[in-house]
Amino acid sequence: MLAISIASVVNVSLKFLLIPAFKEAGAALATLLADLVICLACYFLAKKSARLLPSGKKLASSLLGCLYVYLVCQAALAKGLGPGATVFWAALWAIPGYFVILYLLGNRVLLEFKRGS
């Protein structure tokens, strides 16, 4: 409840700041950042009582991978291609790159999947 309350305040505040300047992209960015706040707040609030939470390294590798995907998608949009070509270009670079980042940072889930195949 605390995490959602904090994220709601962040979401509404950011929307007031970002929508006038960036329209739909500002709303999307505000929602993305609010969801990130929920993720991090839940992680740190639950870390004290739960023993099955991912390590900070796993969380960091996933967040870094997500940042990479975001940057690739922004680069795809900047190319000015049509919608289909933009999605294809972004997927072509984002999907393998995300898994490479997880692998290089030693994400255990990915490594266990690799061993199982």
pLDDT (tens digit, 9 = 90+) per residue, 48-91? 666 655 667 777 777 888 888 889 988 998 999 888 999 999 99
Greater model confidence, 106 or 13: 13
For residues 77 and 88, what is the distance between their CA atoms, to the nearest angstrom? 11
Residue 80 CB neighbours (<10 A): 8
Distances (CA, A) of 76 to 18, 32, 49, 67, 88: 22, 19, 42, 14, 9
For residues 10 and 3, what is the distance between their CA atoms, to the nearest angstrom? 11
For residues 19 and 33, what is the distance between their CA atoms, to the nearest angstrom? 14
pLDDT beyond 80 at 108: no
The angle at the Cα of 93, spanning 25 to 37, to the nearest 5 degrees, equals 45
